[in-house]
Chains A and B, each alone.
Chain A
Amino acid sequence: MNFLNILDEIEKIDADLTERLSPRRKAIQALTGFGGKVALASLPFALGSMFKKAYGQTSTTSQIVDVLQFALTLEYLEAEFYTRGVSTATFAIPSDAARGALTTIRDHENAHVNFLKSTISSLGATPVAKPTFDFTARGTFPTVFTNYDTFLAVAQAFEDTGVRAYKGQAGNLLGSNAVLTAALNIHSVEARHASHIRQMRKARGASVKPWITSNDTGGIGSAVQAIYNGEELDTQADVKITGIAGMSISAAAATESFDEPLTKNQVLAIVTPFIVA
């Protein structure tokens, strides 16, 4: 069986195949050209997953529900965080503008919770219960509700995590138009929040921009480094962005131009310290 001939045959019917497969096909050609070191037994699996990717897969309902339950957990976290920050925290919110912004974000996060719960129910599943949270993250942020700057730092951490978390799940919603679009519509709202929280920190003296530069934490430090690791990527789909096409695009701008995803496991590792049970 000549594996590459199969691709050639399919290409006669589907002229776009090379384009769909291009990166993987090159990789396979490289491997098979390299003395045929790939065990033949592994090829059917590679072929199957390759076609699944090339022709798109439709997510099953249980996959979609899994994504939504995961998102709901993150929204519970954010909703309770802002609710407590606006109502029971002991720090003084310094201005009406700041209080207004935090209230706006609180309302969005609560709306996300309700929206996700009803979407999960409409898919015939039971929404996960709200966990018990520890916003000090087991003592990492002891002043989260007594020091306004700590609160804003944790807020930034949550928003940037949320953006990366939704981004990482988009592919699992392929083929489910309504849920994918809703998830994308939440994703960009989290990014708007992140931008504003970063501006609030900037106004209080933090060295931070509305966008993420490399893997910089914006002065928060190592406690949140995992939330920013990977953001230093400056090559997208094999295209190097720094200095692209001879333009004066700095490495910093290149990394700011694209936000990166986090996997579910990476996100869970980040939020686990905030969850008691």
Chain B
Amino acid sequence: MKNFKQTEEMAFLNGSEELLDARMQRRSFLKFAGAGAAGMALVAAGCKKDNDNDNGIRLGEGDVGILNYAYALEQLEAAFYTKVAATPNTGLSSAEAALFVDIRDHEIAHREFFKAALKDKAIGSLEVDFSSINFTSRDSILATAKAFEDLGVSAYNGAGRLIENATYLLLAGKIVSVEARHAALIRDLISNGSFADSSVVDSNGLDLSRSPGQVLAIAKTYIKTEISLTGLPNY
């Protein structure tokens, strides 16, 4: 609503300007231009105050928006596992660390794939916030990995219905099952047998799914860059 209103008001102002160009003398026009700029600043300020989601980067509309959404999540995961792999004393066993290197590579592959597929429509690099994670604590690393992987699974599951193109839907499917394999492993490293427990799988045997709005609300704890929901398919 806010956007629409803003667009309308901008159009009104621009229209007035055209009229002025044609009819008013130069001196009066300069006077008006000053008033017009002030008016537009007020409109912009009003929007900022009312709608937080208008701040931050926009992911785009339609399938591009969903692919950028996935790109954002993969950036987050890749940054996390890259930092784990670069930390000397994580408390992970060597076998666990080797699995984490595998996962890091998978997430980097996903991230770079989306960037390459989106070409000039790709969003920029996100700034992450890992201040809540202790990278020298095995428990903290595993808990974060579990949160990210379960979130990723639910994000892809929930985004499927928003994808219009069958090719993109299949690509999301190719990735989500790998995220689910990760999630199950991480959960088992925390507590063997929790790979698909009742915190993620319901009585029908169905995994969780979340809308983009729900996912980004959870993910924003770890992402400094503000992400706008405006234009993004959601429900």
Residue ranges of A at the interface with B (Cβ–Cβ < 8 Å): 16, 19-20, 53-56, 97, 100-101, 104-105, 107-112, 114-115, 163, 166-167, 170-171, 174, 177, 180-182, 184-196, 199, 209-211, 236-237, 239, 241, 244-245, 247-250, 253-254, 256-261
User: B108 near A191 (CB under 8 angstroms)?
Assistant: no
Give residues of chain B (176-235) contacting chain A, Cβ–Cβ below 8 Å: 176-185, 188, 192-193, 195-197, 200-201, 203-209
Does B105 interact with chain A (Cβ within 8 Å)?
yes
Residues of chain B within 8 A (CB-CB) of A196 are 184, 188, 195-196
A96 and chain B: residue at smallest CB distance: B193
Residues of chain A within 8 A (CB-CB) of B121 are 19
User: A188 near B185 (CB under 8 angstroms)?
Assistant: no
User: A191 near B177 (CB under 8 angstroms)?
Assistant: yes
Of the A-B pairs whose beta carbons lie under 8 Å apart in the complex, a sample of 22, sorted by A's number, is A56-B164, A101-B195, A111-B205, A167-B170, A171-B169, A174-B169, A184-B173, A185-B207, A186-B206, A188-B156, A192-B180, A192-B196, A195-B183, A210-B184, A244-B112, A249-B108, A253-B102, A253-B106, A253-B109, A257-B106, A258-B178, A259-B173
Closest 8 CB pairs of A and B: A111-B205, A191-B180, A195-B184, A185-B206, A191-B177, A253-B105, A171-B166, A257-B109
Residues of chain B within 8 A (CB-CB) of A209 are 99, 102
Residues of chain B within 8 A (CB-CB) of A194 are 177, 181
Does B146 interact with chain A (Cβ within 8 Å)?
no
Give residues of chain B (10-58) contacting chain A, Cβ–Cβ below 8 Å: none
User: B105 near A101 (CB under 8 angstroms)?
Assistant: no
Does B167 interact with chain A (Cβ within 8 Å)?
yes
Residues of chain B within 8 A (CB-CB) of A174 are 163-164, 166, 169
Majority-rule SS of B interface residues: helix
Q: How far is the CA of A104 from the CA of B165 in the complex (A)?
A: 35
Residues of chain B within 8 A (CB-CB) of A254 are 109
User: A256 near B106 (CB under 8 angstroms)?
Assistant: yes
Task: Give which listed residue, A100, A107, A184, A247, contacts B209 with CB less than 8 A.
Answer: A184
CB distance from A161 to the nearest CB of B (A): 12
Q: How far is the CA of A101 from the CA of B156 in the complex (A)?
A: 25
Majority-rule SS of A interface residues: helix
Residues of chain A within 8 A (CB-CB) of B165 are 20, 53-54, 56
Residues of chain B within 8 A (CB-CB) of A20 are 165
User: A237 near B171 (CB under 8 angstroms)?
Assistant: yes
User: B193 near A100 (CB under 8 angstroms)?
Assistant: yes
Residues of chain B within 8 A (CB-CB) of A170 are 160, 166, 169-170, 173
Task: Give which listed residue, A19, A193, A256, A258, contacts B102 with CB less than 8 A.
Answer: A256
The residue among B153, B166, B193, B205 with the most chain A CB atoms within 10 A of its own CB is B205
Task: Give which listed residue, B108, B117, B175, B185, contacts A210 with CB less than 8 A.
Answer: B185
The residue among A174, A192, A195, A244 with the most chain B CB atoms within 10 A of its own CB is A192
Does B161 interact with chain A (Cβ within 8 Å)?
yes
Residues of chain A within 8 A (CB-CB) of B171 are 236-237, 258
Residues of chain A within 8 A (CB-CB) of B184 are 191-193, 195-196, 199, 210
CB distance from B130 to the nearest CB of A (A): 20
User: B161 near A180 (CB under 8 angstroms)?
Assistant: yes
Does B142 interact with chain A (Cβ within 8 Å)?
no
Q: How far is the CA of A192 from the CA of B186 in the complex (A)?
A: 11
Residues of chain B within 8 A (CB-CB) of A104 are 193, 195-197
User: B178 near A184 (CB under 8 angstroms)?
Assistant: no
CB distance from A116 to the nearest CB of B (A): 10
User: B110 near A257 (CB under 8 angstroms)?
Assistant: yes
